[in-house]
Amino acid sequence: MQIQPILAALRRHKAGTILIALQIALTLAIVCNALFIIHQRLVHISEPSGVDEANLFVIGNQWGEQYSTQEAAERIQQDVATLRQVPGVQDVTTANNYPIRGISDDNFITMTPEQRAPTSDAAFYMGDDNFVRTLGLKLIAGRDFRPEEVQNEGLRQTVVPSVAIISKAMADKLFPHGDALGKHFYAMTPNPITVIGIVDVLHRGDVGTWSAPYVGESMVVPTRPAEPYGLYYIVRAKPGQLAAAMREAPKALYAENRMRMIDPKDGLLSYAEIRRRAFESDRGMAILMSVICVVLLAITAAGIVGLTSFWVGQRRRQIGVRRALGATHRDILNYFMTENLLISLGGIVIGVLLTFGLNLWLVTHFDALKLLPLTYVLGGIALLLLLGQGAVFAPALRASRVPPVEATRPA
């Protein structure tokens, strides 16, 4: 409708116009980036680990005495046997680490022994012949480890594995043609390792951002960590018996051999708790960003209501004059709605620049962030236009109710 005269009028109220536009611009920049951060974090939080989280728990077992490799290996065999006897326990495996623990053991992966720049930096799991089954991994090609393949590794010993089961993500990275099974690679080893099995999903131990280029790339070698330090027992409970198994398992272990340490805080964790801890800061970030978005939108809306109310108050007389000259309720309502729309559009033009500027700055300073997809900016624009129109509606409605007789009131 009457865009040109509205613009003309706005030129006479530069300060207020610029302030609202600026506020919309800044809000757009922050909200778009915050929403995107929230989205990224939520995607991160919901990454699949590949394991049967509902029925798994992990015991961090440290030895109370310094054992030789042989002693440790025997203790481990005994512990596994003990754990299998615990009511509610379905399966047990030994490991040096477990998915989404928060920290990875990782090995550079090369295709030849001479290659310097690694093809991958895969998460490195030592597992036994029960590892795949216990964790509930989905073996999509090849076979599981055989018991005789599993070797014990002691203090700073390098047991060179000759076979490995790798995740599909790693298989695809190493062998993009889909023919990984039976092929070889090097994992900081002097001799090649043969791929004997491929599992669908096996998350890395770490959930950090440094490993983003290697996301989901994990390998398992048939090794038992018989080091003096200790190891992890990953235990799978029978369906519905997780709590009972978690209660009984440490008791059984201590009863068998009390020279061990299971940390009261971190030694016994269900996978639900592991997941909660792993993504604590992501969830925190998502919450912070959500709170800031909501408060920010509320304050921007309140600011628009405040300034528009002031404008309406200031222009009561000219609204009256317009009404006297034939403007209908709707004309006045439209006037203020259109005015807000124009200011918002101006703010959005600046805001889009700011949005991408802020995003670029964040991307260059924090590896954690990615470039903003256009849909977020479009969504943000729609959100702010709606917010502006919503905020201006009440004062505009009040303006439309200014009676025409206002024009004749003495100044």
Partner 1 sequence: MFAYYLQLGLRSLRRNPMLTALMVMAIGFGVSASMITYSVFRAVSGNPIPEKSSQLFVPQIDSWGPGLNEKGEPPGALNYVDAMALMRAHQSSRMTLIYQIVLSTLPRDADSVPVSSTGYAVTADFFTMFDVPFAYGAGWSNADDDARAGDVVLSQEFNQRLFGGANSVGQKITLSGHDYRIVGVTKHWNPAPRFYDAWGGSGFGNPPDFYLALNRALDLKIDNAGRNSCRGAITYNGWDQYLQSNCIWLMPWVELDTSSDVERYHRFLESYSADQQHAGRFGWAPNVRLPDVMKWLDVEKIVPPESRISLIVALSFFVICLVNTIGLLLAKFMRRAGEIGVRRALGATRHEIYAQYLVEAAAVGLAGGFIGLLLTAVGMSGVGVLFAPDIARLAHLDFSLIGLTLALAIFATVAAAFYPAWRAAQVQPAWQLKSN
Partner 2 sequence: MLKMTHLSKVYRTEVVETYALRDFNIDVKEGEFVAVTGPSGSGKTTFLTIAGLLETFTGGEYLLDGQSVSNLDDNARSRIRNEKIGFIFQAFNLIPDLNVFDNVEVPLRYRGMKAPERKERIMNALERVGLASRARHYPAELSGGQQQRVAIARALAGSPRLLLADEPTGNLDTQMARGVLELLEEIHREGATIVMVTHDPELAARAQRNVHIIDGQVVDLAEDPRFHTAYTAAAGQIRG
What residues make contact with partner 1 under the rule CB under 8 A? Answer: 15-16, 19-20, 22-23, 26-27, 29-30, 33-34, 37, 62-66, 108, 113, 116-117, 155-158, 186, 188-190, 209, 227-229, 254, 258-261, 263, 280-281, 283-285, 287-289, 292, 295-296, 299-300, 302-303, 306-307, 309-311, 313-314, 317, 358, 362, 365-368, 411
Name which of 8 and 360 has its Cβ closer to partner 2. Answer: 8
C-alpha pair distances (Å), 313 with each of 81, 95, 310, 326, 402: 82, 72, 5, 20, 10
- Pick 3 or 103: Cβ nearer partner 2: 3
**How many Å apart are CA 130 and CA 168, to the nearest integer?**
19
Q: Give the pairing of strands 184-185 and 151-153.
A: unpaired
CB 25: neighbour CB atoms within 10 A? 23
Separation of alpha carbons 385 and 367, rounded Å: 31
Question: What angle do helix axes 374-400 and 280-314 make, rounded to 10 degrees?
Answer: 30
Q: Are strands 230-237 and 56-63 parallel, antiparallel or unpaired?
A: antiparallel
Give Dmax over CA atoms of the chain in angstroms: 103
Q: Residue 340 Cβ, how far from partner 2 at the closest point, in Å?
A: 16
CB of 326 to partner 1, least distance (A): 22
Which among partner 2, partner 1, none contacts residue 229 (Cβ within 5 to 8 A by kind)? partner 1
Query: Which of partner 2, partner 1, none does residue 322 bind (CB under 5 to 8 Å by kind)?
Result: partner 2
* CB of 55 or CB of 94, closer to partner 1: 94
Q: Which does 323 bind (CB under 5 to 8 A by kind): partner 2, partner 1, none?
A: partner 2
CA distance 136 to 143: 14
- Residue 330 CB, shortest distance to partner 1, in Å, is 25
Binding partner of 117, given partner 1, partner 2, none, CB within 5-8 angstroms per partner class: partner 1
Nearer to partner 1, 318 or 328 (CB): 318
Nearest-angstrom CA–CA distance, 127 and 80? 13
Chain residues binding partner 2 by CB under 8 A are 2, 5, 8-9, 12-13, 317-318, 320-331, 403-405, 407-408, 410-411
CA atoms of 311 and 46, how far apart (whole Å): 47
Nearest distance in Å: CB 127, partner 1: 19
Going by C-beta distance under 8 Å and a sequence separation of 6 or more, which residues neighbour residue 351? 24, 25, 26, 27, 28, 29, 380, 381, 384
186 binds, among partner 2, partner 1, none (CB under 5 to 8 A by kind): partner 1
Given partner 1, partner 2, none, residue 8, with its beta carbon under 5 to 8 Å by kind, binds partner 2
> Which residues touch 236 (CB under 8 Å, ≥6 apart)?
52, 55, 56, 89, 90, 91, 92, 134, 135, 136
- Give alpha helix (H) positions in 52-187: 69-85, 131-135, 168-174
Half-sphere exposure of 86 (CA within 13 A, CB side): 31
CB closer to partner 1, 8 vs 299: 299
Q: CB nearer to partner 1: give 215 or 295.
A: 295
Considering the complex, what minimum distance in angstroms separates the CB of residue 9 from partner 2?
4
Query: Which option in partner 2, partner 1, none does residue 296 bind, with CB closer than 5 to 8 A by kind?
Result: partner 1
The distance of closest approach from Cβ of residue 332 to partner 1 in the complex, given in angstroms and rounded to an integer, is 18
Residue with tokens 């969830």: 283
Q: Binding partner of residue 405 among partner 1, partner 2, none, CB under 5 to 8 Å per kind? A: partner 2
Distance CA 204, CA 207 (A): 7
299 binds, among partner 2, partner 1, none (CB under 5 to 8 A by kind): partner 1
Least distance from C-beta 296 to partner 2, angstroms? 30
Q: Which of 367, 320, 328 is nearest to 212 (CA)?
A: 367
Q: Shortest distance, CB of residue 385 to partner 2, whole angstroms? A: 24
